[in-house]
Chain A
Amino acid sequence: MEEIVTTAVETVAETAAETASGFEVLFEPMNFVSNLYYMGTGMLGIFIVIGIIIGATVVMNKLTSRKKN
């Protein structure tokens, strides 16, 4: 019984310590500014790919549409 209680106490202590030390976030406000580059290029990249897909869709529609009389 004593062993079990000791183990339980140790487990609680370990988990509490893990939780307390778990909040390990940075605080680097300048990272926001330096990563704006990725935001710009990422959004530009998406618009370029979507633009190409739109162009391809328009071409496909034109090539495969039935001619009107």
Chain B
Amino acid sequence: MDFLYQYIVQITWQQVVMWAIGGLLIFLAIKKEMEPTLLLPMGFGTIVVNFPHSGVITQGDEAGMLDILFDAGIANELFPLLLFIGIGAMIDFSPILTNPKLMLFGAAAQFGIFFTFCLASIFFPQNDAASIGIIGAADGPTAIVVAQKLNSQFIGAIMVAAYSYMALVPIIQPPIIKLLTTKKERMIRMPYRGAEVSKITKILFPIVITMVTVAIAPSSASLIFSLMFGNLIRECGVLDNLSETAQKVLANLVTIFLGITIATKMEASQFLRGETLLILGLGLFAFIFDTAGGVLFAKFLNLFSKEKINPMIGAAGISAFPMSGRVVHKMGLEEDPQNFLLMHSIGVNVSGQIASVIAGGMILNFFG
């Protein structure tokens, strides 16, 4: 009868803790609806990889299903890049095409990435510190690609931090924004002057952005190309079926594989380490300083501009699309029910998406 319990007796308390973490991720996904498309498969995967001799991960010569998926889609960065095609197809860049200056806030809100990198470098080697800093990109695919290219050993913790904090944007950002702004500043109204954007501009935009970015930060080529290719098939007007497939089928399919595959890095021996707590703390710093960077930059511009900017929109440059844009809009309405910041905040939000890819490219230029 030994065969019935020979593996059960090998279960360690660390593995039981990982089951609890997996359960927590599933709870957050279902009950709190926090990034359920990723946290649910990650949670379930975490439970199943934390059994002795679990066959879903490679054991000796016997290849496990999740490791095969990892080698096929994450080790070579294919899954996050395919996901980026879907994300690109979902994004409407019209708000920044009508008001290009909004893109400056997207740039400013990448401050948290570099500041956190400097902080993390106190405790970690440069490649790991840079991978931890990129949690502040608030953008899963970029975080995976950078951490994988830099060969970080903490990719599991980095992914959990990135996706958890993205889901927690409505909780993390408001106190920081309130701390850095006065009520008067939060009540600044910004009238939206919607201008017509020609179809040819919408088509040229992804092409031009890709060319400029690749010329300056070639390491970000695959990221920016995937994002902008998705956007090009959306805007060209002759590939509606492909656009719809990229937005729904492709994005959903890749997300399923991405979530369970990341779970291969959630084994107790890799995840249950002191470093993980430190990484979660540093990831939170990254989100806080990204938010602060955007808000303070808007306040700085207000010193020189005649037409005042509501500094809250700077916080939407954090990327986390579209949660961050909505948070800022909601905060504006709380201060003044007639203050509609949505178009501005969403514009800053999509520019954050572009800027976070450029930041990833810069990091790879430095350390890749």
Contact = CB atoms under 8 A, between A and B. Distances in A.
A45 B119 CA distance: 20
Contacts of B213: 49, 53
Interface stretch (B73-81, B98-106, B252-260): B98-106
Interface string B84-100: 00000000000011001
B216 A54 contact: no
Contacts of A7: 9-10
Interface in A10-69: 11-12, 15-16, 18-19, 22-29, 31-32, 34-36, 38-39, 41-43, 45-50, 52-54, 56-58, 60-61, 64-66
A15 B121 contact: no
Contacts of A45: 216-217, 358, 362, 365
B275 A25 contact: yes
Contact of A28 (B103, B122, B273, B359): B122
B124 interface: yes
Nearest to B274: A23
A18 to B, nearest CB: 5
Do most interface residues of chain A lie in helix, strand or loop, or is the interface mixed? helix
Interface stretch (B107-115, B167-175, B321-329): B107-115
Interface stretch (B59-67, B202-210, B232-240): B202-210
B355 interface: yes
B359 A57 contact: no
A12 to B, nearest CB: 5
Contacts of B204: 60, 64
B interface SS class = helix
Q: Could you say which of B121, B196, B269 has the most chain A C-beta atoms within 10 Å of its C-beta? A: B121
B97 A61 contact: yes
Contact of A49 (B96, B278, B358): B358
B242 to A, nearest CB: 24
Contact of A57 (B12, B96, B125, B365): B96
A3 to B, nearest CB: 8
Which of B12, B124, B196, B197 lies at the interface centre, i.e. has the most chain A CB atoms within 10 A of its CB?
B12
Nearest to A5: B9
Given A56-B208, A57-B100, A60-B205, A49 B217 contact: yes
B212 A31 contact: no
Contact of A58 (B100, B122, B197): B100
A61 B201 contact: yes
A40 B218 CA distance: 19
Given A4-B5, A29-B122, A60-B201, A54 B103 contact: yes
B204 to A, nearest CB: 5
A63 to B, nearest CB: 8
Interface of B: 2, 5-6, 9-10, 12-14, 52, 96-97, 100-101, 103-104, 106-107, 110-111, 113-115, 117-119, 121-126, 129, 196-198, 200-201, 204-205, 208-209, 212-213, 216-217, 268-269, 272-275, 278, 351, 354-355, 358-359, 362-363, 365-366
Given A60-B201, A66-B198, 16 more contacts: A1-B2, A12-B13, A23-B274, A25-B275, A26-B123, A42-B359, A45-B216, A45-B358, A45-B362, A49-B212, A50-B104, A52-B216, A53-B100, A53-B354, A60-B205, A64-B198
Interface of A: 1, 4-5, 7-8, 11-12, 15-16, 18-19, 22-29, 31-32, 34-36, 38-39, 41-43, 45-50, 52-54, 56-58, 60-61, 64-66
15 contacts: A22-B269, A25-B124, A28-B121, A31-B129, A35-B117, A35-B126, A38-B118, A39-B117, A42-B359, A42-B362, A46-B107, A46-B358, A47-B104, A53-B100, A54-B103
